[in-house]
Amino acid sequence: NNPEVAGDQKFLDKLDLVDAMRQFDHNRVSLQWDSYRVAGIDLSTIAYIRNTRNQYTATWENNLPHNDSQQNTFGLMHKGVMNPSWGRLIYGIDGEVTQATTLYTQQFEDIDNSVAQGTIYDYDVDYLAISPYLHSDIELTEDVTLSAGLRYDINEYQYTNNTDDGQYAASSYSRPADRSDNYNHLSPKLALNYALSEKAMVYARYANAFRVPSASRLYSLSTSNIDFSLAPETSNTYEIGYKVD
């Protein structure tokens, strides 16, 4: 809750006008084919269906809007492992298709914050993610292993606004027009491991990571940021360490 208004009588009176609630529902069904072998390659495949629904009253906002968002997802993860004479090679691909809806409503007219009763946001988002990857462990000597990997992430949002574009009434909420957003990124990683014994090793590692913005960050906008663009988050991690099993 907003600490500046939680004890204010006007805010408490507004709470009587809504059915304040929070409910999160999550369902997932998966099917896994594990450790089957084809042409000398150890394979693993996982298919899953996921449904989530998030309903809540945004008590941290002074006008107490209600959110109802749902996501239906189908995903597939496939991996193959080969063991050539020089070490190990792993390839794989992760894929996911999601259909999402968001309904954000004002359940009463909030004169204090200029928010009229009605639908603030009503939009659909189709999301596609495909990520092929490769990883290899190369045995340079009996004690030294070089590990290298690449992952290429392809992410696409297709956004459809189901109500009027632009500012909602006289409020600070704003709805962008229909659009698509694409985020693609190549993430490398590299590691060098030196075995001191059967149970101890020293290592040096580098990894690049990537995360796309969420749909709510992209499309539930305000009049102050309607024209902004949001870049994905990237990070570079460097690590030197000693490990004992």
pLDDT tens digits along 143-169: 999 999 999 999 999 999 999 999 999
pLDDT at 110 over 90: no
The three-class DSSP label of residue 144 is strand
Distance CA 185, CA 180 (A): 17
Distance CA 148, CA 188 (A): 8
pLDDT at 239 over 90: yes
Distance CA 182, CA 20 (A): 36
Q: Tokens 């390839």 correspond to what residue?
A: 91
Q: What pLDDT digit, counting tens, does each position of 173-216 carry? A: 999 999 999 999 999 999 999 999 988 999 999 999 999 999 99
Distance CA 53, CA 75 (A): 17
Strand order in the sheet with 22-38: 22-38, 41-57, 66-82, 87-106, 118-139, 144-161, 179-195, 200-211, 233-244
Distance CA 159, CA 127 (A): 9
Provide the percentage of residues in the chain whose pLDDT is more than 70. Answer: 97
C-alpha closest to that of 131 among 97, 156, 95:
95
DSSP symbol at 10? H
C-alpha closest to that of 71 among 28, 105, 97, 101:
101
pLDDT at 3 over 50: no
pLDDT at 4: 52
DSSP symbol at 172? S
Distance CA 220, CA 176 (A): 8
pLDDT at 159: 98
Query: How many CA atoms within 13 Å lie on the side-chain side of 114?
Result: 7
Least-confidence region, from 59-68, 96-105, 153-162: 59-68
Contact 110, 67 (CB under 8 A): no
In the predicted model, what is the mean pLDDT of residues 112-125? Answer: 93
Distance CA 27, CA 91 (A): 29
User: What does pLDDT average to over the chain?
Assistant: 92
pLDDT at 112 over 90: no
pLDDT tier, 17 (very low <50, low <70, confident <90, very high otherwise): confident
pTM tops 0.85: yes
Contact 81, 88 (CB under 8 A): yes
Beta bridge partners of 46: 32, 77
pLDDT at 108 over 60: yes
